[in-house]
Amino acid sequence: MNGLQLLGTGRCLPSRRVTNEDFARTLDTSDAWITERTGIRQRYFCAEGETAVSLAVGAARQALEDADVQPGQVGLCIAATFTADRRTPALACEVQAALGLPQTTLCLDINAACTGFVAALETARCLLLGGQLAGPYALVLGAEKISSLLDFSDRSTCVLFGDGAGAAVVRLDPQAPWAAVFGTRGDGQVLHGGGPEDPYLAMDGRAVFRFAVETVPVCIRAVLDKAGLTLDAVDHLVLHQANSRIIHSIAKKLEQAPARFYENMQRYGNTSAASIPIALDEMRRAGQLCPGQTVLCAGFGAGLTWGGVLLRA
């Protein structure tokens, strides 16, 4: 099958913790309003001197240590991000320099917004299968500094997002199950930002909700069909952590208990490409994600894009 085995994980959050009550002091909102609609209670924003690179490096160091993999063994570094500190060099290249990864390491960024980490996993698997990399291990990152794109006078967006990074070290495993499904519905209006004419992130929340609840259950079923598995054979379901109501609606469509779907948006908000690897690291360090277990990860977001992958812990 030549799937991916998850060998180690890490996460890094910035130092500035911002609660719903903090927003209520300056915006027409409340903790109850935000929590009821999103499930989010707090998030972290970068303070002065904290960057997407510094978050990515912190998460990557933890993941390498957890996997007991040395920098010299890494043949590939992929960073999923839409908020890199600079347009060039790639965030992955700056991680390579900071960690001392070999100069033979292939480093690149992927911008698929909230689907980015899932897309990076499939990209890593394909490149590892190609047999042309200088090392057998891939370092896959999701890192975002979304606060740099937020309009803090717009309560419809600024309360939803957070900064952070998550990382995973993976390698090919011929015995590991694997299936991947992706899709794109090009739309530059529903969720966009960061351009010369629209520097801030803007979103049609209702449209994003409908999009996610419509596409993600179909995506999950397609992944399972490819793998020849049922939901009962999957140990963990880890979705992009955008909104608890979205996850609960997806669970209902799949006729699953919401408790089967991991949730941590209450602690971090929506961290885009970082949300799934942050969740995987939390689960691993809490003893919930154990070696040999099967995990189905699904992302959805700006693009509009969606994707799902199945991997082994």
Which residue in the list 77, 158, 219, 270 is annotated as catalytic?
270
Task: Report the candidate in 270, 272, 231 with the shortest Cα–Cα distance to residue 254.
Answer: 231
**What phi-psi label fits residue 296: left (phi over 0), alpha (psi between -120 and 50 degrees) or beta?**
beta
Q: Respond yes or no: is residue 111 known to be catalytic.
A: no
Q: Tokens 């995973």 label which residue?
A: 168
Residue 114 CB contacts under 8 Å (≥ 6 apart), including other chains: 240, 242, 270, 272, 273, 275, 299, 300, 301, 302, 305
Token pair belonging to 288: 């919930």
Q: Are 162 and 99 in contact (CB under 8 A)?
A: no
Intra-chain end-to-end CA distance of the chain, in Å: 15
Token pair belonging to 125: 């698997």
Rounded CA separation 100/301 (Å): 33
Token pair belonging to 155: 């309560």
- Chain length of the chain: 313
Q: Respond yes or no: is residue 240 known to be catalytic.
A: yes
Q: Respond yes or no: is residue 12 known to be catalytic.
A: no
Instruction: Give the number of other Cβ atoms within 10 Å of residue 303's Cβ.
Output: 24
Sign, CA torsion 163/43/59/3:
negative
C-alpha distance from residue 240 to each of 144, 222, 270, 276 (Å)? 14, 17, 8, 6
Which residue in the list 114, 158, 219, 297 is annotated as catalytic?
114
Which residue in the list 12, 236, 240, 243 is annotated as catalytic?
240
Rounded CA separation 67/41 (Å): 31
Calculate ∠ Cα 25-31-33, nearest 5°. Answer: 110
The catalytic site residues sit at: 114, 240, 270
